[in-house]
Amino acid sequence: RMSQMWVEGTLGIVPKLAPKIMLNEEGDNITLSDNRKMFSKWAQKWQDEDPYRFTKAIHNYAATNLIPRHLGPEYIIHGAKLYSPWDPSRTEITLVISEWFFDRSLNLIKSLDSKDHPFSEVIIMVPSSASNSHDYRKYTRVPVTIQYRDAPDFMDLCSAQVSTDWFMITNAYHVVANHVDLMFTPGKFVPVIPFTPATYPFCLKYPYCNEIVRLSQRWNKGHKQVV
């Protein structure tokens, strides 16, 4: 916005904004006031100096999803969408790991206790032909369960037998981050899941994404998001 004001003041060019931006919360069109004279006056005043000053009192997060701990010392906040952090007293979360052998997930399991994470249980999905004799209690305080899959590995998302309300899924080639931040809606306290809209610019112009949407609409005709 500062650069827009400077261009408008020095060149007299009023920025053209997208129609969706020019709507209020009720969806009605809004009209911006003509500030060219004021911006021109500012430009003349500051043309021989640096018109910008750095301040920690204002921060623009540009429509970023955040939880309170991500905020800094600023007093004026723009563009932040605040959510609630995970609360262990309200919900438990299981970590499901897709495994293809019997020991690829050991690296993740062994480092689990050194991480700040929300997982109360771990489920490792392995092929029915895999043998596993590991005592995971040696590596982590988190209860670990082995489940033998009876469907293709891409079905782990659906076939994992999870007892908690929510779970996250990864595979044996990853490790848990040092700090896991999960966002929940403040009211119903359900997890916030990022998605891509199934529109042409973001998805439908890519053949693989188009096919995913088309297949999903076989059972959900109104499907319009890609996770």
User: Along the chain (227 residues), what's the average pLDDT of each consecutive run of 10 residues?
Assistant: 78 76 71 83 82 81 87 86 90 95 90 95 91 86 94 92 95 93 90 88 91 91 88
pLDDT score at 29: 79
pLDDT score at 97: 96
- Where on the phi/psi map is residue 102: left (φ > 0), alpha (ψ -120 to 50), or beta? alpha
pLDDT score at 12: 83
pLDDT score at 26: 66
pLDDT score at 164: 95
pLDDT score at 20: 67
pLDDT score at 42: 84
* Dihedral, 123, 127, 128, 132 alpha carbons, nearest 10: -60
pLDDT score at 113: 96
User: Residue 116 in contact with residue 180, Cβ under 8 Å?
Assistant: yes
Spatial distance between the Cα atoms of 95 and 111, rounded to a whole number of angstroms: 14
User: Under DSSP, is residue 197 helix (H, G, I), strand (E, B) or coil?
Assistant: strand
